[in-house]
Amino acid sequence: MKNYLIALPDCDAESAARYIVVSFAGYLSQRYTAASVLLSVEGEKQDKLLDIVMKRAAALKASTDTGCMVPVINQNSSEKILSYIDGSVKRRSNHSWEG
């Protein structure tokens, strides 16, 4: 199951970025509520939104503390996450951040 986030042109970039990062990093796609796709509708705030998301994502630390990136729960989950990344690369998706 894929959960999509849609960022509209009039979104509050700071608030949206905070929730986007919490959604993908807080669960690492290990829960059904974790977002796996961000669709950013073209608009003047979208570059700012993606810049904030990238900065927040780059600052994440692995930990079980609130606001941190949780560890992968097992080998199967790790392989599943890596398969999503590999599949995305094969489809030539636009990857703005490596890491």
pLDDT tens sequence across 17-64: 988 888 777 655 555 666 777 888 887 788 888 889 888 888 887 776
- In the DSSP assignment, the letter for residue 71 is P
Query: Distance (Å, rounded) from C-alpha 2 to C-alpha 23?
Result: 12
Q: How many CA atoms lie within 13 A of 94 on its CB side?
A: 5
CA distance linking residue 66 with residue 26, whole number of Å: 8
Predicted TM-score (pTM) of the model is: 0.65
Cβ contact 42:9 at 8 Å: yes
| Domains of the chain, start order | 4-90 (3.40.309.10)
